[in-house]
C-alpha cells in the first residue's frame, strides 16, 4: 500500500513543477500578501445559487468543508472529545470576521442556507492575521456579507437517495432569510432521512488454520430526523452587534441486523435497535466598542442532548426464536460555555486581547445489560453501570498580536486553565464511589508568519493543547463489532500535547493554484488508550506488575487463578505516560489551464503521520489504535461555464490500521471511498445535482486474531477473516431560491 501513496506524491510533485514554470504572469502587488480575495465577479461564470456553491468553487476550500462535515458526524456519537470549549486556534470559517457561536449547530448547515446574492466577497487568509476571531496556523475563510442589500430570499431543496437493492428515501429543506430595519433573520426546517446499509462475509478458523464456520451479515438502519435552525442578527444605534442562533433536532435510528453463522445451534442471530436522540442549542455573540478599554467580544453556547437506546438480540426464527440479550442505554448531556474578551491596540502594529472562558459540562449515563441462557430462563441483569459527571472548567487568556512589518506577523498567547471533575459511580445498592479531581494547565502558543515574497509564505507554530475528555469512556458499554463489554473508567485524565509545525506555502501566479508543505512533531502526555488493569499476583499470591507476572515460569494454575477470581484479565480506557507523532503534509490546489482546461481544478492532499506508543499488553512499540500512517484526499472539479454544467469526483484513501486490546489484535485494510457528481443550473435560479458514492461496493477487509485470555500468552483461540461490502448510493437533488 505505501508505494501507491509514494507514486501519487511523485505525480503531484511533477505536475506542480510543470505548472510553476508554465505561468509567467505576475500578480499585482497587494497590501497583504496573506489574503486572497474572491469578489462577486469571480463567481459570475459558476452559476452559484448558495454561499456553499461559492465556497465549493474556490480551490482548497472543499477540503475544509469536508473536514467540518466529518467532524460533525463524529460528534453525533461522541460523549465529549474534540475541541475543548471555543478555543482560539485551528482552521475556521468566519462570517464578517466572526465565527458561528455553536457546536452542535454546524457551520456547513448555515452556509447552505445563505443565498449567493447576499455575499459581497470571500477572503482566504493564510497564517497569522490580526483582527479576527481566531488564531490559525492554516487557512481562515472569511465571508464578507453585503451591507444595505435586500436579504429577503427563500432557499429550498428537495433530494433523495437510492441505495442499491433498497427503496428511494426523500428529504427536503426550506429556509427563509429576511430583514426588518436593523434586524436580519433566517429560519429553516429540514427533514432528514438518511438510511445506512451494510453487508459482510466472515470466515472462522481454529488455531491450526482449519475452517470451522462461516457467517453472513446484513444490516439496515433507518436514520430519520427533523432539524429547525434560526439565526438572528441586530445592529444597535451605537454600532454594537448581537447575533443569536438556535437549533432543535429530534432524530432517531431504527436498525435491524442479521448474523447467520453455520456453527450456531439456533440461527440466525437477529438484532433490533431502537434509538431516539434529541438535542437543542442556543448560541450567540455580542460585540461593541468600549472606548479607551478597546473592543468587547463575547460568545456563549447553551446546549443539551438526550440519547435513549435499546438493543434486543434474538436467536433462531419462527417458533424457536427467543430473546437472549437486551442492552438499555440512557444518556443526558448538557454544556454551557461563556467567553468574553477585550482587545485594544497598545502600540503601533500591536494589539492585546485579555479575557476569560467558563464551561460547565454535565453528563449522566446508565447502561444495563440483561441476558439468559435459554428461552425457559428469565432475563436477568448481568452488567450495570451508572455514572454522573460534572466538569467545571475556567480559563484566563492573553493574546498578543504584533504586525512586525507588512510581511511579518507574530501572535503569541498564554492560557491558564483550571478544571474540576466530579464523577460518581452509583451502584445498584445506592452506594456512591466518587472521583473528585482538579487540574491546572498552562497552555502557551506562538504563531509566526513571514511572507518573504508576494507568493511565498513561511509559518511556524508552537502550541500546548489539552483535549476534551470523551465521557463515554467513563461508562461500561457494549462494542457491537468486537462483541464484548468494555468497562468504564472514571479516572481518565485529559490528554496533553505539545505541537510543533513548520509550513511553507507557494501560490502560483494569476491564482493558478498553490502548493503547501508542512512538517510537524507532536509530544503526548497522558495519552488515552486501552490499558491493562488486571490484578496480577505471583505464586505466593502477592500483588505484582504485569512484567513481573509474565517473567514468572509458565504455570497454568496461576494463569487460571487470575482468570477465575472474578477479576479476570481486565482492560479499560486509561492514560499512558507518553507517546509521540511526527510527519509531513503536502497540499496542492491547481487550476488545469496548463493542459487547456482553465475552468477545472485539482486538489491533492497527502498526509504522512507516524504515531507511536508502547502497547500496554505486549510491551511493543506500535501505532495508535485505528490510525493510518498515510492518507490521501483527491478532489477534481470542472465547470463548463458555457453550458452551466459542473462535474467532478472525490477520492479518500488511507493505509492499513489496527486495533489493539488485551485479548485480540485486529489489523484492517480500509477501502478507498469514491464519490462522483454532476450538476446543472437551469433557469438561472435552480440547480439539479446527481451524486454517486460507494462505486467500488467495498468497505474493506480485516483479520481478527482472538486469544484465549491475555494476548501475551500467545494462545490463539480463533482467527476471523472479514470482508465488508456496501451498496452503491445514488443521490439526486433540486434546489433553488425565490
Task: Please write the tens of the pLDDT for every residue from 682-716.
Answer: 887 788 999 999 888 899 999 999 998 899 999 99
How confident is the model at residue 168, as a pLDDT?
80
Buried b (16+ CB within 10 A) or exposed e, 643-672: ebebbbbbbbbbbbbbbbbbbbbbebebbe
- Which residues neighbour 503 within 8 Å (Cβ) at sequence distance 6 or greater? 127, 137, 138, 457, 458, 459, 460, 461, 516, 517, 518
On the question of pLDDT at 14 being above 50, the answer is no
How confident is the model at residue 150, as a pLDDT?
54
Lowest pLDDT segment from 113-122, 155-164, 575-584: 113-122
Q: Are 656 and 630 in contact (CB under 8 A)?
A: no
**Domain assignment of residue 665, yes or no:** yes
On the question of pLDDT at 447 being above 60, the answer is yes
Band (132; pLDDT cuts 50, 70, 90): low
**Per DSSP, what are the bridge partners of residue 180?**
183
Of residues 614 and 540, the one with the higher pLDDT is 614
**Domain assignment of residue 623, yes or no:** no
On the question of pLDDT at 328 being above 50, the answer is yes
SS (H, E, C) 57-123: CCCCHHHHHHHHHHHHHHHHCCCECCCCCCCCCCCEEEECCEECCCCCCCHHHHHCCCEHHHEEEEE
**Domain assignment of residue 35, yes or no:** yes
Band (566; pLDDT cuts 50, 70, 90): low
Which phi and psi (to 5°) does residue 58 adopt?
-100, 120
* Rounded CA separation 351/344 (Å): 5
Beta strands in 406-495 (DSSP E): 408-426, 432-451, 456-466, 477-479, 484-486
How confident is the model at residue 541, as a pLDDT?
86
How confident is the model at residue 532, as a pLDDT?
93
**Domain assignment of residue 559, yes or no:** no
User: CB atoms < 10 A from the CB of 541, how many?
Assistant: 10
Burial of 422 (0-12, 13-18, 19+ CB in 10 A): middle
Q: Are 337 and 358 in contact (CB under 8 A)?
A: yes
Q: Are 485 and 383 in contact (CB under 8 A)?
A: yes
- Pairing type for strands 92-95 and 139-145 reads parallel
Band (133; pLDDT cuts 50, 70, 90): low
In this prediction, residues 597-610 reach a mean pLDDT of: 91
On the question of pLDDT at 415 being above 90, the answer is yes
In this prediction, residues 478-488 reach a mean pLDDT of: 82
- Number of compact structural domains in the chain: 1
On the question of pLDDT at 233 being above 90, the answer is no
On the question of pLDDT at 564 being above 80, the answer is no
On the question of pLDDT at 18 being above 50, the answer is no
In this prediction, residues 129-157 reach a mean pLDDT of: 72
* CATH code of 262's domain: 2.40.170
Structure confidence by residue, pLDDT tens digits, 53-83: 888 888 778 777 777 666 655 555 444 445 5
Q: Quote the domain boundaries for residue 148.
A: 2-534+569-579+648-737
In this prediction, residues 274-279 reach a mean pLDDT of: 93
CA R_g for the chain? 28
Structure confidence by residue, pLDDT tens digits, 336-380: 999 999 999 888 888 999 999 999 999 999 999 999 988 889 999
How confident is the model at residue 87, as a pLDDT?
61
Band (479; pLDDT cuts 50, 70, 90): confident
On the question of pLDDT at 15 being above 80, the answer is no
Count CA atoms closer than 13 A to 344's CA, side-chain side: 9
Q: What share of the chain is helix, strand, coil (3-state, %, to 5)?
A: 10, 60, 25
CA angle at 421 for the pair 417 and 425, rounded to the nearest 5°: 165
How confident is the model at residue 452, as a pLDDT?
87
Band (585; pLDDT cuts 50, 70, 90): very high
Band (498; pLDDT cuts 50, 70, 90): very high
* Rounded CA separation 393/362 (Å): 12
Nearest to 602 by CA among 3, 18, 2: 18
How confident is the model at residue 528, as a pLDDT?
95
SS (H, E, C) 509-572: HHHCEEEEEEEEEEEEEEEEEEEECCCEECCCCCEECHHHHHHCCCCHHHHHHHHHCCCCCCEE
On the question of pLDDT at 136 being above 90, the answer is no
How confident is the model at residue 151, as a pLDDT?
62
**Domain assignment of residue 602, yes or no:** no
- Which residues neighbour 124 within 8 Å (Cβ) at sequence distance 6 or greater? 35, 36, 37, 38, 58, 60, 61, 139, 140, 141, 142
How confident is the model at residue 33, as a pLDDT?
60
Q: Which three cell numbers stand for residue 61?
A: 476550500
pTM given for the model: 0.85
DSSP symbol at 455: S
In this prediction, residues 108-124 reach a mean pLDDT of: 79
CA angle at 588 for the pair 730 and 456, rounded to the nearest 5°: 150
**Domain assignment of residue 590, yes or no:** no
On the question of pLDDT at 28 being above 50, the answer is no
Band (85; pLDDT cuts 50, 70, 90): low
Quick one: how far is CA 236 from the chain centroid?
37
Nearest to 90 by CA among 34, 141, 37: 141
* Rounded CA separation 242/1 (Å): 52
Residues in the chain, total? 738
Count CA atoms closer than 13 A to 137's CA, side-chain side: 22
How confident is the model at residue 84, as a pLDDT?
64
- Write out the DSSP string of 178-217: EEETTEEEEEEEEEEE--EEEEEEEEEE-TTS-EEEEEEE
Structure confidence by residue, pLDDT tens digits, 169-217: 888 999 888 888 788 888 999 998 888 888 999 999 999 999 999 999 9
**Domain assignment of residue 705, yes or no:** yes
Band (487; pLDDT cuts 50, 70, 90): confident
Structure confidence by residue, pLDDT tens digits, 634-666: 999 998 888 889 999 999 999 999 999 999 999
Average pLDDT across the chain, whole number: 85
Band (22; pLDDT cuts 50, 70, 90): very low
**Domain assignment of residue 621, yes or no:** no
Amino acid at each position: 500500500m505505501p508505494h501507491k501513496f509514494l507514486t501519487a506524491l511523485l505525480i503531484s510533485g511533477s505536475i506542480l513543477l510543470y505548472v510553476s514554470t508554465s505561468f509567467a504572469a505576475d500578480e499585482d502587488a497587494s497590501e497583504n500578501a496573506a489574503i486572497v480575495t474572491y469578489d462577486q465577479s469571480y463567481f459570475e461564470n459558476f452559476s452559484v445559487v448558495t454561499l456553499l456553491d461559492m465556497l465549493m468553487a474556490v480551490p482548497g476550500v472543499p477540503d475544509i468543508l469536508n473536514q467540518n462535515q466529518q467532524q460533525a458526524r463524529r460528534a453525533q456519537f461522541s460523549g465529549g472529545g474534540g475541541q475543548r470549549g471555543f478555543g482560539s486556534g485551528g482552521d475556521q470559517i468566519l462570517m464578517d470576521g466572526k465565527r458561528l457561536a455553536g457546536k452542535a449547530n454546524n457551520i456547513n448547515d448555515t452556509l447552505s442556507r445563505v443565498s449567493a446574492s447576499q455575499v459581497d466577497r470571500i477572503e482566504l487568509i493564510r497564517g497569522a492575521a490580526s483582527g479576527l476571531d481566531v488564531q490559525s496556523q492554516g487557512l481562515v475563510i472569511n465571508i464578507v456579507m453585503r451591507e444595505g442589500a435586500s436579504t429577503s430570499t427563500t432557499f429550498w431543496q428537495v433530494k433523495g437517495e437510492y441505495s442499491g437493492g433498497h427503496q428511494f428515501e426523500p428529504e427536503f429543506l426550506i429556509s427563509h432569510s429576511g430583514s426588518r430595519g436593523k434586524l436580519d433573520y433566517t429560519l429553516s426546517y429540514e427533514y432528514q432521512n438518511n438510511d445506512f446499509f451494510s453487508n459482510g462475509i466472515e470466515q472462522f478458523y481454529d488455531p491450526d488454520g482449519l475452517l470451522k464456520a462461516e457467517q453472513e451479515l446484513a444490516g439496515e438502519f433507518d436514520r430519520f430526523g427533523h432539524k429547525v435552525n434560526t439565526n438572528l442578527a441586530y445592529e444597535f444605534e451605537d454600532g454594537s452587534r448581537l447575533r443569536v442562533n438556535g437549533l432543535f433536532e429530534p432524530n432517531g435510528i431504527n436498525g435491524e441486523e442479521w448474523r447467520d453463522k453455520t456453527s450456531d445451534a439456533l440461527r440466525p442471530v437477529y438484532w433490533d435497535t431502537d434509538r431516539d436522540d434529541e438535542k437543542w442549542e442556543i448560541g450567540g455573540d455580542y460585540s461593541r466598542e468600549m472606548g479607551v478599554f478597546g473592543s468587547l467580544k463575547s460568545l456563549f453556547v447553551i446546549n443539551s442532548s438526550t440519547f435513549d437506546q435499546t438493543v434486543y438480540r434474538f436467536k433462531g426464527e419462527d417458533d424457536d426464536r427467543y430473546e437472549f440479550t437486551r442492552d438499555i442505554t440512557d444518556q443526558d448531556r448538557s454544556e454551557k460555555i461563556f467567553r468574553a474578551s477585550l482587545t485594544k491596540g497598545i502600540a503601533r502594529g500591536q494589539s492585546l486581547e485579555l479575557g476569560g472562558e467558563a464551561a460547565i459540562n454535565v453528563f449522566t449515563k446508565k447502561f444495563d445489560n440483561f441476558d439468559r441462557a435459554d428461552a425457559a430462563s428469565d432475563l436477568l441483569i448481568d452488567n450495570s453501570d451508572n455514572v454522573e459527571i460534572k466538569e467545571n472548567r475556567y480559563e484566563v487568556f492573553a493574546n498578543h498580536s504584533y504586525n512586525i512589518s507588512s510581511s511579518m506577523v507574530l501572535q503569541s498567547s498564554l492560557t491558564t486553565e483550571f478544571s474540576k471533575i466530579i464523577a460518581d459511580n452509583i451502584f445498584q445498592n445506592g452506594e456512591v464511589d466518587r472521583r473528585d479531581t482538579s487540574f491546572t494547565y498552562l497552555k502557551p502558543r506562538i504563531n509566526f508568519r513571514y511572507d518573504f515574497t508576494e507568493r511565498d509564505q513561511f509559518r511556524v507554530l508552537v502550541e500546548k493543547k489539552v483535549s476534551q475528555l470523551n465521557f463515554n469512556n467513563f461508562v461500561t458499554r457494549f462494542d457491537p463489532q468486537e462483541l464484548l463489554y468494555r468497562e468504564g473508567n472514571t479516572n481518565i485524565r485529559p490528554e496533553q500535547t505539545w505541537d510543533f509545525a513548520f509550513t511553507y506555502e507557494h501560490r502560483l501566479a494569476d491564482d493558478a493554484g498553490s502548493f503547501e508543505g508542512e512538517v510537524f512533531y507532536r509530544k503526548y502526555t497522558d495519552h488515552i488508550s486501552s490499558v491493562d488493569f488486571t490484578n496480577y499476583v505471583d505464586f505466593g499470591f502477592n500483588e505484582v506488575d504485569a512484567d513481573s507476572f509474565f517473567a514468572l515460569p509458565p504455570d497454568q494454575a496461576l494463569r487460571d487463578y487470575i482468570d477465575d477470581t472474578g477479576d479476570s484479565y481486565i482492560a479499560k480506557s486509561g492514560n499512558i505516560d507518553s507517546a509521540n507523532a511526527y510527519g509531513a503534509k503536502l497540499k496542492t490546489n491547481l487550476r488545469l489551464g496548463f493542459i487547456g482546461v482553465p475552468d477545472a481544478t485539482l486538489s491533492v492532499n497527502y498526509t504522512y503521520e507516524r504515531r507511536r506508543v508502547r502497547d500496554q499488553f505486549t510491551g511493543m512499540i506500535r501505532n495508535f489504535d485505528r490510525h493510518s500512517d498515510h492518507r490521501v484526499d483527491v478532489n477534481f472539479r470542472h465547470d463548463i461555464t458555457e453550458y452551466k454544467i459542473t462535474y467532478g469526483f472525490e477520492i479518500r484513501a488511507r493505509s492499513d490500521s489496527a486495533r489493539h486490546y488485551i485479548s485480540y489484535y485486529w489489523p484492517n485494510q480500509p477501502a478507498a471511498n469514491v464519490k462522483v457528481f454532476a450538476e446543472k443550473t437551469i433557469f438561472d435560479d435552480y440547480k439539479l445535482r446527481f451524486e454517486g458514492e460507494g462505486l467500488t461496493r467495498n468497505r474493506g477487509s480485516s483479520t481478527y486474531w482472538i486469544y484465549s485470555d491475555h494476548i501475551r500468552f500467545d494462545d490463539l483461540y480463533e482467527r476471523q477473516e472479514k470482508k465488508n461490502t456496501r451498496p452503491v448510493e445514488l443521490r439526486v437533488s433540486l434546489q433553488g431560491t425565490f
